[in-house]
Amino acid sequence: MSRRLVVSLATIPTRIFAMRPTLDSLVRQTVRPSRIYLWYPEVFLRSFPKERLIPNFLSEYPTLKLGSCDDHLALNKLLPVLKEENDPETLIVTVDDDTVYPETLLENFLKWQTVYPHAALGLKGKTLLDWEGLNYKEIFPAKGLSALPQQVDVLIGGRGIFFKRGFLDEEVFEIQKVPSPYVSQDIWFAGMLAKRHSPRFVVPFGEYEKMYSYQNEVDALKNMPEVLQFKHA
């Protein structure tokens, strides 16, 4: 593999000690990432019952880099890695800290990237129908279970999102444009891609049903604004 491929995820104090299954699934990939970034803010906008502790087992993963960042909630797995990786050709995959991923996840994304080299790829998404201004009344979901790729408006991050660093410019960091700190990564990412006319596709994945989450939602983000227009670019 000639181009750099990195994985980025973020965690919180109530989850970091239970992350081993996720990390194990990432280091066992058939295509090994050059780096796995784990973002863990020093100070959180949210309140947690535990102090910020770091488990010793993280040192068992040579490709893992533990990094600190400002707490941008759902955007923690996206914004810091964009600052760390500057080469527009670098391939980035964002994932969740509570999901076990099949070992061919990255291999599958790379396969489909040869078909759609100018698109962001995911395994779950939605198309927004029946628009009225900035609002929508109907959602059409898409998953990697389908036999054919599907173009969507929004990629859902929990199952992994694959993109090239060069798809996003500096505007992605200007989150003050959205009138709330509770910004969905999926919505913001889709809006930034749409402004640059970058399409989004949900691609087939034969091992889709092998993915599973194992932690409870302890910090659910509520009332996240969906204020961007992100129809097909």
User: Is 3.80.10.10 the CATH classification of the domain at 5-213?
Assistant: no
pLDDT band at 128 (very low <50, low <70, confident <90, very high): confident
Q: Nearest 5°: phi and psi at 162?
A: -115, 130
pLDDT band at 224 (very low <50, low <70, confident <90, very high): very low
Distance CA 84, CA 7 (A): 12
pTM of the model: 0.86
Residue 217's pLDDT is 56
- Lowest-confidence segment of 42-51, 182-191, 205-214, 219-228 by average pLDDT: 219-228
Note whether 120 and 162 are within 8 A (CB). Answer: yes
With a cut of 50, say whether residue 229 has pLDDT above it: no
Note whether 150 and 125 are within 8 A (CB). Answer: yes
Residue 145's pLDDT is 82
pLDDT band at 198 (very low <50, low <70, confident <90, very high): very high
DSSP type of residue 20: H
- Residues ≥6 apart with Cβ < 8 Å to 25: 99, 100, 101, 102, 103
